[in-house]
Amino acid sequence: MTGSVQQEMERLLTAAFAPTRLEVINDSAKHAGHSGDDGSGESHFTVVIEAAAFADQGRLERQRMVNRALGDIPGERVHALAIQASAPTS
């Protein structure tokens, strides 16, 4: 894929969940020089996502769903990924 890891994550999550809210926040600068910082500037991220697909799912299953949608990105191409996944409220 072309573009940044952040852009790829946004594309994958949008395609998988059609979220009502999506923020992919690059936290890498906060971790410069720490373990897992590969110098790419794309090693640590936070995902804030709200989608109907998360209704009736527990926190752990929501995180698993996001990780599955991202394929090889978590753990292979990104060192750390914080996930805040929720379902829309009425």
pLDDT of residue 68: 97
HEC sequence for the chain: CCCCHHHHHHHHHHHHHCCCEEEEEECHHHHCCCCCCCCCCCCEEEEEEECHHHCCCCHHHHHHHHHHHHCCHHHHHECEEEEEEECCCC
pLDDT tens for the chain, 90 residues long, are 446 999 999 999 999 999 999 999 998 766 555 655 555 567 789 999 999 999 999 999 999 999 999 999 998 888 889 999 999 986
pLDDT of residue 1: 45
